[in-house]
Structure 1
Amino acid sequence: MGWKGTVRSLQASARRSERNAHRRQRELEKRHKEYAKMEALEQAAYEVDVYENHIDILLSMHKDCADPVKWNRLISNPEPRQPINSCALEQRATHSATTYRPNFWARIFKLEARKRVALMGKVRAAQAEDERQYQAQLDEWKTAHAEWAEQRDIAVRILDGDRQAKLDAIEAFESFAEISHLGSAIQMIVHEGGVLEAKVAIHGSDVIPSEIKSLLKSGKLSTKAMPIGRFNELHQDYVCSCALRVGRELLAILSDELVIVTALDNVLNGSTGHMQEQPILSVAFSRSTVDGLNLESIDPSDAMKNFVHNMSFKKAAGFSAVTALDAQRFAEAV
């Protein structure tokens, strides 16, 4: 399985707890099979539930995160002991052969020689079974030892700040599947000085609804265009929630005290007059500050005030392009 398999198993156990938005999403997905059989008012209520759940998921990305990897604990795991062929079965069979004494009937019917031949056959069979069991144990040990060596190697390299080790660990954990499903692509860069930066391509217009769905007093579905101000506010909260989620996941995987997350999206380039993918948020997440947040209660956009960050946002106009943080400025933190 190797260390990559090990960290995936650690990740799986760490994700057993699930936020309410995801549980609700699964329930709604099950109900979708019954959609065609629903009455009109039931369908309307279902569509509003799905809409509200989608918004809830977008704005609560930061609430999920794997448990921190205990790299120091991996280093301290004892080396698996190489098995020894104890020859236990052979010893018991040999003891039976050497201590054999023919009884009265064996002497009368001259069965002693045949019995001794049979006992020696059992000794040889026991030798073969001892060897078979030993080889099986040896194969298991080789696998366990290789995994132990890999785990120890990656743990040492992570704690030493090795660039490639960071990238390998991030790839192995596959921590950003949910964000990818929502249309956000992530690129990892380890800058000179060891600071890791995640560049997250946020496709807000593809993810955030352009309409608002609600129920009228009659129970019927109301669908209307989302005001630009509301769309922009959702966009900001989603971007900040994603950035915080990525920062938390990276700090959980790595031993670094700080990581940079830069979110990019299509915004107007004032010099060309065209929409272009540019940084809209760049934030340096420090471990100590992240650990001190009450993640269940924070507003993700307001939470950025706790960190060094660049963001230009206006409710009426949305995001404007900003300059990504200079990683060298934070090199000493790593």
Structure 2
Amino acid sequence: MGWKGTLRSMQASARRAERNSHRRQRELERQHKEYARMEALEQAAYEVEVYENHVEVLLSVHKDCGDVINWKSLLNSVEPREPSLDVTAEAAASDALATYAPNFLARLLRLEARQRRALSRKVEEGKAEDLRRFQTAHSDWRQAHANWADERELAHRIINGDKQAKLDAIEAFEPFTEIAHLGSGIELIVHESGLVEARLAIHGTHVIPSEIKSLLKSGKLSTKAMPIGRFNELHQDYVCSCALRVGRELLAILPDDLVMVTALDNVLNSSTGHLEELPILSVAFSRNTLDSLNLDAIDPSEAMKNFVHSMAFKKTQGFSAVVALDARSFNLQRA
């Protein structure tokens, strides 16, 4: 299967294996249309469930990932075979003409010549039908062959460590759509060593809710301002969850054993006194370590301890700017 076919397969697989939190999110969105007709207590329960689901989605970004791409398999994929002209329809019509024998009624009504002309037309129509099928098949083959050639060429470049090929592959698979929907933008850099770094503009403070919603014993809605400590913890977990997801996606697409992810957000620059978009987390994700983690059970922030990383965080203050890791200090390995 080529990378375009692999992409379609991955997308279908992702739809089948979609997280419960996302399925529930869409169900809640459908229920929103009925919100106005709900009783007050139902509305309260609905709002709390939407809130809890939103938080769950934010903290579980890292749990999804596309399938690992086998570039060697793509490089060795079988070349699509060029179709040949299949004259089935013409042959069947020619056989009917050759074996035609007028029956008694045809002889009586002198229909033999007309029927032979009709059968001759069927031969020409069969020939045209065969040609149309061949032209369609050949057009499909040309597209399939072009895709096959493209994917083999990309696989060859990937296996040889071509820097641009890495960016081309990531662009083709578009693995970061979900994160983009949550408000994060990604810039990809291939360093001189070939090490890929994703710079993630997280803007997490705009995504984390500023209130806590819960149900009172009476069933009524309680809305309170979120304590700063809780807000900062959610922000940290969200940033780390996004970083883990980006690292996983890069390692699923690339044959490298190491990638870097640097998350940026608006924080106070102590040298200027202004808010600036600066690194708040920089981490080098190794394939072996990521593969060893139980990603469904980890705390995203605590998981950073498993990797070389730079992060300054206090529950009462949130993130502080850090110096991003230096790509030159790592040796790139291939899986």
In the superposition, the TM-score normalised over structure 2's length comes to 0.89
Partner residue in 2 for 1:11: 10
2:323 is aligned with what amino acid?
T
In the superposition, the TM-score normalised over structure 1's length comes to 0.89
Structure 2: state its 5+ residue gaps: none
Partner residue in 2 for 1:62: 62
Partner residue in 2 for 1:32: 32
Cα distance in 2 for partners of 1:220, 1:102 equals 89
Partner residue in 2 for 1:252: 252
Cα distance in 1 for partners of 2:216, 2:89 equals 80
User: Cα–Cα, structure 1 residues 121 and 215, in superposed 2: closer, same or farther, change >3 Å?
Assistant: closer
Partner residue in 2 for 1:315: 315
Question: Cα offset for 1:311?
Answer: 0.7
1:1-334 to 2 correspondence within 5 Å?
Answer: 5-15=4-14, 16-91=16-91, 122-334=122-334
Aligned positions, number = 333
CA contact (8 A) 1:232 1:315 kept: yes
Cα distance in 1 for partners of 2:32, 2:132 equals 55
Deviates further, 255-264 or 213-222: 213-222
Cα distance in 2 for partners of 1:177, 1:257 equals 23
CA contact (8 A) 1:3 1:150 kept: no
Cα distance in 2 for partners of 1:223, 1:108 equals 95
Question: Cα offset for 1:280?
Answer: 0.5
Cα distance in 1 for partners of 2:287, 2:189 equals 19
Q: Secondary structure of the equivalent of 2:265? A: strand
Q: Secondary structure of the equivalent of 2:276? A: strand
Q: Secondary structure of the equivalent of 1:332? A: coil
Report sequence identity in percent.
65
Q: Secondary structure of the equivalent of 1:310? A: strand
User: Cα–Cα, structure 1 residues 56 and 115, in superposed 2: closer, same or farther, change >3 Å?
Assistant: closer
User: Cα–Cα, structure 1 residues 123 and 327, in superposed 2: closer, same or farther, change >3 Å?
Assistant: same
Deviates further, 314-323 or 295-304: 314-323
Q: Secondary structure of the equivalent of 1:294? A: coil
Q: Deviations over 1:40-77 (max 9, x none)?
A: 22222222211111111111111111121222222232
User: Cα–Cα, structure 1 residues 125 and 39, in superposed 2: closer, same or farther, change >3 Å?
Assistant: closer
Cα distance in 1 for partners of 2:246, 2:226 equals 28
Structure 1: state its 5+ residue gaps: none
Q: CA RMSD in A?
A: 2.6
Cα distance in 1 for partners of 2:312, 2:125 equals 79
Cα distance in 2 for partners of 1:117, 1:318 equals 88
Q: Secondary structure of the equivalent of 1:264? A: strand
Cα distance in 2 for partners of 1:323, 1:274 equals 17
Q: Secondary structure of the equivalent of 1:200? A: strand
